[in-house]
Amino acid sequence: MKIHSLEVYIVDLPTIRPHHLAMHTIVTQTIVLACMRSEDGIEGWGEVATIGGASYFEESPEVIKLTIEKYISPLLIGKNPINFDALSHTIGIHVKGNYFAKALVEATMIDLVAKYKNVPSYELFGGQCHTSLPVAWTLASGDTVRDIEEAKHCLETKRHNIFKLKIGKGDPKKNVAHVIKIKEAIGGAGSVRVDVNQAWDEATSLYCIEALEDGGVDLIEQPLMSWNNEGMSRLSSRFKVPIMADESLGTIQEAYQIAKNRAADVFALKVPKAGGLTATKKVAAIAEASGIPMYGGTMIESSLGTAICAQLYSTIPEMKFGTELFGPLLFKDNITVNQIEYENFEIIIPNGPGFGMVVDKEKVKHYSRETVSSIN
C-alpha cells in the first residue's frame, strides 16, 4: 500500500451557544480535516480543531493547511503509511514545530492503516483498556441560576456529572463566588472544576485557589501563563486541590520538565498539542512513570476529532480525571454520518475500522471555506 494523495479542508461549524474562554468566545468552531488516499482507493481521515484562529495556539487553520500542502505532503506521497511512526519521525526532521499539522497528518495515516487492516485504530496502540470514559461538560451561560439548572438537568438525564467552568475572563472574585454557588447547589452529586486559561497572576491565584479549595472545587486548570512552571510548582505544593497543566503541556519535552519540577498535579492530554497520537501516548507514559494522574482534554473537536482522541485515551489504563470530549454536543451539525454516543455520564468509545466514524462528504463540502470538487 502506498499513499497516493493528501488533501486538506478548513471547515467552520456553528455552535449551539457561545463558548467562552479567556482568550476567545466560540460561536463558530474551525476544524481542519485531511483525507489521505492510498493507490488502491482506501481513505483515511483526520481532524484537528483550533480555537480563535491563533489566539490559543501558534498554528492557525490557514497555517496548518499550508504547512501540510507545501512541506509535509511531498514527504509522504508514494510512501507506505503502515510505517506511520517512521514517517512521523521523518516529518519531524524536515518540519520543526507545527504540532497540529503533524497530528492531523499522523491521524490520517493511522485511520488509513487501521481501515486497511480492518481494525479499530486503538488496536494499533495496544488495544482498549476502556469501552467508555467519564466526560465533563462546560457550564458557560455566566448566569448562576441558569448554570445550576443546566447542571441539575445533566445529572437527572445521566449525561454529565463532571462540570467545568471557564473563569479566566472578568472579575476573578465574582467568578469564584459564581463557581462556589454552583458547587453548593450540586453538592456531592457532581464534580465541579475550573479552567483559568492562564488568566491569573500568582497573587490572584493564591487568593482564588484558597477560596475554591474551601468551596469544594475538585480541580484547578492552568491558572498561570504557560511559561511559568516555577509559579505552577509553588501553587501545586501549596494547595491540596490538584493543579492541572494544559497550555503549558504539549510535547514530550514539556511533559518531562513539568514532571521533573512537579509543576502540576495532573496532566491534560491533548493530541494535537503533543504532535499526534504516538507522541500523546509518550506523554501519558511520562505521567504514569511520574505518578501524575491524567485527564483526556479536548480542543472542542467535532465527532471525527473526538473519536480520534477517545480511541487513544481508551488505551491508557488510568484516566483518573476522566475526559472533556463533549465537542459533538456543542455543534448544531456535524461532519460524520454516524454520531458519538453518550450515556450514563460517559462517552462510548467508537468501534469499527479506523476511528469508527464515516465522514459525510456533503457536509464537508457544505461547511468548507473553499469550493470543494475533489471529494467523491
Burial class of 270 by CB neighbour count within 10 A (0 to 12, 13 to 18, 19+): buried
Lookup: cell for 122: 486503538
Identified catalytic residue from 65, 166, 273, 281: 166
Amino acid type, 118: N
Q: With CA atoms as reference, report the closest residue to 148 among 102, 192, 200.
A: 192
Rg (CA), the chain: 20
166 is catalytic: yes
3-class secondary-structure state, position 277: helix
Lookup: cell for 99: 504540532
Q: Please say whether the beta carbons of 298 and 309 come within 8 A.
A: yes
d(CA 240, CA 210): 9
Q: For 126, left (φ over 0), alpha (ψ -120 to 50), or beta?
A: left
Residue whose entry in the numeric block shows the C-alpha cell 492530554: 269
The distance in angstroms from the start CA to the end CA of the chain is 21
**Residue 195: which H helix or E strand, with range?**
strand 191-195
DSSP state of 161: S
d(CA 46, CA 171): 39
DSSP state of 56: S
Active site residues: 166
